[in-house]
Chains A and B, each alone.
Chain A
Amino acid sequence: MTRHGRKPDETTLSVWQVIELARHPERPYSLDYIRRLAPDFVELHGDRLSADDPALVGGIGTWHGRTTMFLGHQKGRSLKERVARNWGMMHPEGYRKAIRLAHHAAKFRFPIVSLIDTPGAYPGAGAEERGIASAIAEAIMEWFRIPVPIVAAVIGEGGSGGALGMGVADRVIMLENSIYSVASPEAAASIVWRDNTRKVEAAEQLQLTSRDLLAMGVVEEVVTEPKGSAHVAHDAAAAALDEALHRHMQALLQQPTEELLQHRYERFRYIDSLVHAEPQFGPKV
């Protein structure tokens, strides 16, 4: 067992191989899961301010007998759809849509499932002009006030603030071959080395695999993928995700709202408490 909890025999994949699986073009995307979890899914569009962001899908569906709000980054399968979905990179309108739908869910006491699969928020001039930074900031703050249970799952790429803007939840789980990072390996290499071709080295230092995050205490569970990874067996991957999401949601549905929100606050307030040894740091949760 290494310092960071990965047993050498647990996986024979290199970090970069895991990243390639997380980004595999045949990997199930949010709608592949949502349509299996809730076949009666009805998509709801728009931020009610100016636009609909196709990089984020949202809507309601019946899941284990209960109307549930589903949100998820959506990458495209064909080139045409990839362009239309902007490769799952959200604009400010996407975060505003997410919060609009979160309030909608709160009104009807629908629990929320958020599926994360994005390289990051869109790094373009238009997103800057329309306030991408404050859209993410407001979303991250607002999630702490949404008075219904939220379970988030990283199903592919969890890239930076663009992922965290959809990742403030009562429980956060990860599929085995997904990643979650402060920045994509390319962006981290660009920042640290000023050279984005150093992406493999950056990836190896960032500790971004599901096992790394579990060891750091940042996620509650790693969901085992079917043999050969999720892209070879969409149904089996969806079944495994469904079981884990449902188990976490059942526990959360028992909690009084005040307790739920206090625990959500503490989950993130002390999220780093496992890794620092200094006694002057805050209480462990």
Chain B
Amino acid sequence: MALAHETRPELRIAGSKLPAIPLPPACPGCGVSLDADALRKNNYVCDCGHHFRIGADAWIALIADRGSWQERWGDVRSHDLLNWKVPKPYQAVIEQLMDEGLNEAVRTGTCTLAGRPIWLAAFDFRFVGGTLSIVAGERLARGMEQAASSGLPYVLISASGGARMQEGVLALMQLAKVNAAVGRLHAAGVPYFSVLTDPTFGGTAASLALLGDVNIAEPGAAIGFTGPRVIKQATYADLPAGFQSAEFQLAHGQVDLVLPRTELRRLLAHLLEMYP
């Protein structure tokens, strides 16, 4: 058996080539015009440190060893339960997003990372703001239950506005459903690594995203419970620069590390060696 340190230096920053994503002409961080190919090879992190938002497909390509991804429960689909009509019919919203090739706000499955089998779940902010829905909760809870019984480490990538309004109180109940499953992961002694990306808010922050054994945040990511707009509306407070940033959450004891996306895969591989 090869020792871990023999293989680690070869580990790439991404498991396979990330998909192309729509990009603005210039980086919002530094204003310099973007080289799409170079950016893509750098996990969509600009030289200035700005991290572009990426979808679940890109996260899977980034984390999973090439060819190792096996998606689970991709056929479980959302539908309109509450007959939600305004401002847009919910059923039409879902169908349009599916037509665009997206598959719910959470995708989950198994893969290997540096040869080690793991469970992986990634939120997709493009699907109704990455909101926690019944289907998202179901995919998360099922994967966690299987990880708890098989002992495979669980890796979560979050990017979410919270619970999905259009599924009403049943979306809220997903917090309890998923946290119950997180409790089983912890009780089973299974490592759970949670990566918080921009943005992670509301019910997602108030449930699984901050319950990792190790919480890792991306530089500059906005993370919190109540969004700044609502805080200002409710309290008329002036919020300081950097409020609810990853660095703010690090200073306030909510995350273990703030880590650039270009180093994430290597750190996860290292953690997987240290938490057997």
On A, residues with C-beta under 8 Å from B are: 3-4, 121, 123-125, 127-134, 136-138, 140-141, 144-145, 160-161, 164-165, 167-168, 180-183, 187-188, 190-193, 196, 201-202, 205-208, 212-213, 216, 218, 265, 268-269, 271-272, 275-276, 278, 280-282
- List B residues at the A interface (Cβ < 8 Å): 73, 75-77, 79, 81-87, 134, 137-138, 141-142, 161, 163-177, 179-184, 186, 202-203, 205-211, 223-226, 229-231, 233-235, 237, 239, 243-244, 252-254
Interface centre among A160, A167, A182 (most CB of B within 10 A): A182
Interface of B, secondary structure class, is helix
In the bound complex, what is the Cα–Cα distance between A121 and B208 (angstroms)? 18
With A and B bound together, what is the CA distance between A141 and B230 in angstroms?
Answer: 26
Chain A positions within 8 Å of B137 at CB level: 272
Is the pair B182, A141 in contact by a Cβ cutoff of 8 Å? yes
B residues near A137, Cβ cutoff 8 Å? 175, 179, 205-211
Is B234 in contact with A124, judged by CB distance below 8 angstroms? yes
Decide: A127 and B225 in contact? CB cutoff 8 A: yes
Residues of B within 8 A of A268 (CB): 173, 176-177, 180
* Cross-interface CB contact of B168 among A136, A161, A164, A181, cutoff 8 Å: A181
List 19 additional A-B contacts (Cβ < 8 Å) besides A144-B179, A182-B165: A125-B239, A128-B224, A128-B226, A133-B205, A133-B209, A133-B224, A134-B210, A137-B205, A137-B207, A160-B203, A161-B203, A161-B206, A164-B172, A182-B163, A182-B167, A182-B172, A208-B169, A216-B168, A275-B134
Q: Is the CB of B243 within 8 A of A141?
A: no
Question: Is there contact, CB below 8 Å, between B169 and A181?
Answer: yes
Query: Chain A residues with Cβ under 8 A from B243's Cβ?
Result: 125, 128
In whole angstroms, how far apart are the Cα atoms of A180 and B172 in the complex? 10
Whether A140 lies near B231 (C-beta < 8 A) is no
Q: Output the nearest chain B residue to A188 by Cβ-Cβ distance.
A: B165
Give chain A residues whose Cβ lies under 8 Å from the Cβ of B254.
131, 133-134
Residues of B within 8 Å of A212, CB to CB, are 169
Q: Are A124 and B177 in contact (CB under 8 A)?
A: no
Judge whether B165 and A213 touch: CB under 8 Å: no
Interfacial chain A residues near B203, Cβ < 8 Å: 160-161, 182
Q: Which residues of chain B come closer than 8 Å to A183, judged between CB atoms?
A: 163, 165
Chain B residues whose C-beta falls within 8 Å of the C-beta of A140 in the assembled complex: 175-176, 179, 206-207
CB pair A144–B180 under 8 Å, yes or no, is yes
A11 to chain B, nearest CB (A): 18
Residue numbers in B under 8 Å from A128 (CB-CB)? 224-226, 231, 243-244
Residue contact B230 to A164, C-beta cutoff 8 Å = no
Which residue of the partner chain A has the closest CB to B83?
Answer: A3
B144 to nearest A CB, angstroms?
Answer: 11
A and B contact pairs by CB, cutoff 8 A, 28 listed: A124-B226, A124-B235, A125-B239, A127-B226, A131-B254, A133-B225, A134-B210, A137-B208, A137-B209, A140-B206, A141-B180, A144-B183, A164-B175, A165-B206, A182-B171, A182-B172, A190-B229, A205-B168, A208-B168, A212-B169, A218-B169, A218-B173, A268-B177, A271-B173, A275-B134, A280-B76, A282-B138, A282-B142
Contacts of A282 in B (CB 8 A): 138, 142
In the assembled complex, the Cα of A33 lies from the Cα of B187 at a distance in Å of: 36
**Bound: A191/B165 CA distance, A:** 8
Chain B residues closer than 8 Å to A271, beta-carbon distance: 170, 173, 176-177
Chain A residues positioned under 8 Å from B81 (CB to CB): 275-276
Q: How far is the CB of A214 from chain B (nearest CB, A)?
A: 11
B233 and A196 form a contact (CB under 8 A):
yes
- Min Cβ gap A228→B in Å is 27
Bound-complex Cα distance A100 to B166 (A) = 34
Which A residues touch B83, using CB under 8 A? 3, 205
Given contacts A123-B235, A188-B165, A191-B165, contact A269 B181 (CB under 8 A): yes
Among B76, B170, B180, contact of A216 (Cβ-Cβ < 8 Å): B170
A167 contact set on B, CB distance < 8 A = 176
Given A164-B172, A268-B180: A124 touches B211 (CB 8 Å cut-off): no
Assess A145 versus B183: contact at CB under 8 Å? Given A128-B225, A192-B165, A272-B134.
yes
Known: A124-B234, A141-B179, A268-B180. A136 touches B206 (CB 8 A): yes
